[in-house]
Chain A
Amino acid sequence: MTNIIRRLWVPLMALMAITGMGQMPIFKRYYIADIPGLAWLGQPFTVHWVHYIGAAVLMFIIAWFVTLWVAKQPKLTTSGILRIILLALLVVTGYVRVMKNLPDVHFSPMITMLIDWSHLLFAMLLGIAAVWCVRTGRKAYIEE
């Protein structure tokens, strides 16, 4: 099962990146949603729901790996630690935003804006870090 989860990681992160970008109304504007099969990317609520569902699957996977890591505590690589920190910040800001979307819970306008922007910022930084790791051969999170 661990191998299946590993294979799920990249497609899932890609889905989260796409649906995250899709929170901005750009896919309809730039004809992406006109491509057959991608019309859902132009529907704000659908993109939002898919982002939530993807986040739930992602949280299952993260919790799975964290539990395995706690059990054996293998040494992490520096690039792995960097990506884990960015991912943790992304997850925290994501959960805060989910909380804000509940009825009877709201934050001040400034905090709402900062959460939105920091979630976007951490996603971009994680994407950059992931690409950098692939290009420099630092793909592993755990030292062999």
Chain B
Amino acid sequence: MKKSPKKNSSPNTPISRRTFLKVFGAAGATACASSVHPAEAQNSAPKEELMTVLDISKCIGCGECVTACTESNAHKYPTVRKPIPKMFPPRVKVEDWSDKKDVDDRLTPYNWLFIQTAEVEHNGEAHEINIPRRCLHCTNPPCANLCPWGAARKEDTGVVRIHEDICLGGAKCRTVCPWHIPQRQSGAGLYLDLLPRFAGNGTMLKCDRCYDKIAQGEQPACITACPENVQRIGKRSEMIAYAKELAAATNGYIYGLEENGGTNTIYVSPVPFDKLNNAIDKGKGKPHLAPVENSMANEETLTSALIAAPIAGVAAGVLKVLSDARKEKNND
């Protein structure tokens, strides 16, 4: 597995202005050195990404996972500097959850996991289904791909993480996320040291699948705390096989395998997801369960154009050179 230089950094240590400028200055030199290699090229024996499977027929909605998540990740929550700067222009609203840390019925900067309950009827049977909701950790995450600043990243473990020291809180990750999962806390993060009123608006936070625990070979807090063994984590290929077996054995349904081109979180349910989606509350901080097309599909297609374009340019240029040479010869 490729090493991540920032993995063990203290999450609450703010990046200084000097460090920021030094890193920015080094950026060009590093790029020039062509030291960029795809993850797989850096390691001859890459490990598979990790995937979690949630058998939601087992979830009793006890909230142990929610409590464990909050306790385990409390040290990652932002320290808010008050008064929070008034934003310019006024249309940019401050989002402050620092006095509402106890809210646990939706995603917030201080609550990265919550449980949705759906009461549905399927095949003549009434079901009460509890669904732990958090970031799905997409295999090709638009939040990480469209973040212009490099704050949202995907790591080798399959964890999609927002680096709180770098994030400016523009919330583009939330806009492009098909489930709008990252949440913003204003008054914290790098923007306070740059242009606090005019650029940025805080820091974005979401489930990082306990990347620090995973780095130590441990399991995420929500998995170990669950008394019903709702979740299982393992290599992506093994977890896909497990989820399919589970779905086949229970006449169940799978969510996450195809959504947004594939995610590293899969839900297996005894009830179709369109029924669950109709039954759950949706809105801010409450993600849907509808089908999701691959957000990055157009980029994948356009990459072909970016490869073909210079080839076409050379071909056209050669034709032009030959044509000029022929004209010159005829004139002679």
Contact = CB atoms under 8 A, between A and B. Distances in A.
Interface of A: 1-2, 23-26, 29-31, 44-45, 48-49, 52-53, 55-68, 71, 89, 92-93, 95-96, 98-122
Contacts of B318: 67
B310 A63 contact: yes
B30 A102 contact: no
Nearest to A71: B321
A6 to B, nearest CB: 13
B122 interface: no
Contact of B171 (A25, A96, A113): A25
B44 interface: no
Contacts, number: 197
Nearest to A116: B150
B145 A101 contact: yes
Nearest to A125: B28
Interface of B: 2-6, 23-24, 26-28, 30-32, 34-40, 42, 89, 91-92, 139-140, 142, 144-151, 153-156, 161, 163, 166, 170-172, 175-176, 199, 261-262, 295-296, 298-300, 302-303, 305-306, 308-314, 316-318, 320-321
A103 B23 CA distance: 27
Nearest to B299: A101
A109 B4 CA distance: 7
Given A110-B5, A121-B28, 19 more contacts: A1-B320, A23-B146, A24-B148, A24-B149, A24-B170, A44-B172, A55-B309, A63-B310, A67-B314, A67-B318, A67-B321, A68-B320, A98-B299, A101-B140, A102-B299, A103-B300, A114-B23, A116-B149, A118-B31
Contact of A48 (B91, B92, B163, B299): B299
Contacts of B26: 114
Nearest to A31: B89
B150 A117 contact: yes
